[in-house]
A and B are shown apart, each in its own frame.
Chain A
Amino acid sequence: MSAFSAVRIPFPAVVAARSAGEKPSSPFLCSPAAAPVIHSSPLRSPRLGRPPLAVTSDVLSSQKPLGSNSSPSCQAVISRDEALELYEDMVLGRFFEDMCAQMYYRGKMFGFVHLYNGQEAVSTGFIKLLETRDSVVSTYRDHVHALSKGVPARAVMAELFGKATGCCRGQGGSMHMFSEPHNLLGGFAFIGEGIPVATGAAFSSKYRYEVLKESNRDGLDVTVAFFGDGTCNNGQFLECLNMAQLWKLPIVFVVENNLWAIGMSHLRATSDPEIWKKGPAFGMPGVHVDGMDVLKVREVAVEAIARARNGEGPSLVECETYRFRGHSLADPDELRKADEKSHYAARDPIVGLKKYILEKNLASESELKAIEKKIDDIIEEAVEFADSSPPPPRSQLLENVFADPKGFGIGPDGKYRCEDPKFTEGTAQV
């Protein structure tokens, strides 16, 4: 049964079912055998008026390890190539973020740096199913989304160092990764800000198909919007859920629920912590999935993206995940309890996938080690490249404020006025 039909909503899941042998279980179970209460706070319970909710997932509630069945004789759900691709992507994300931390403490990077350690399964699980023409919109925690989408590691690293060879020529920084060839639309510092932008990108995809009649046999361009649990209380999110469903836009809303918004626990901030429920409230399917398991994420992603591509409309996917580091490198991370951290550290997505690959004999240990070594080299090279790149020249300060180079508009011949050789500025110069 598909993960989508596990959700009790009147809309049928139209996509093909996958017979992976996974038993459908309800997304949240309050079973006492489930994981320990993730967050308890004396300030919370009296207000909510109900006992603390243990946020669990199907993996925990069914007490199963990664993958459908643990016996090696069972067929793997992905092919060898796909498994290695996923592994490589997650390792790239992890090693890159670790290197970012190192570089920050050495003073090569500055400002705000938000690391993605622990959440790689979500990025890899979704983005590796997208094509180049599909868009990704993210928040400030966007390094790994950029890498998964195909932005070269050296461009991202150079951007973080503030060099002219970065993907945004050093003008954006850690939180503002944009890449037009890869259709990476950022990189927004305000949470919730990227969601309307993503909805707009999806709108443009539908518009091009319906109004401009650009046909594409392979379906619409899909937009995937990534954001966190804190964003789900923001008005913009809800407004976009409404409009996306109303207009059946080809978008997938992916909630990376890592339970914490800086120091604010999701359970303290949200009246109903089950975010996936907000989907059906607007008429779209809402699914909760274990975000520490890349295969489960991928399974759900396949359906959600197919729905969007076929024009069936948006989906809301809540991925329960965890960030191993603090909110940013400046966050002392004092409020999260050690047992919660160790609980999720034990479910490290990379370790989990590695175990799965070895169990299903998709690859050998040495091949995985070779991949890790390759990624190490890529990261080293990225750092060297970024180090040796020049900082932006002084003249770059005033560039790119407008698309129109000098701001004098378009002339009657349709070209920029400043490009007309007879044009004299007559005003002060830069």
Chain B
Amino acid sequence: LIRSINDPEHPLTLEELNVVEQVRVKVNDAESTVAVEFTPTIPHCSMATLIGLSIKVKLIRSLPERFKLDVHITPGTHASEHAVNKQLADKERVAAALENSHLLEVVNQCLSARP
């Protein structure tokens, strides 16, 4: 579901950039949990929140409601890891971000299939 998400600033997908990897995705169907760790390309990557948000939105749209989602940065790979994780875990902030039409457009662009 998330391998084909486009990077906001490279012409490549998250899989091709090794931002998401299969070993860092944990799915537990019985307990209905999904945990995704993603690795920003550089520790100061300013797009980390946007990438996380894209992953989160894609999963919200594509997974049954019973799943609890946890999207966070691979520990030790980003300067402001804690802050970003906190933002992504905050339901209200995610919802508010998606009310912003400009931000939604950017997220949709990342999620759209590559031509």
Q: Decide whether A and B assemble into one complex.
A: no
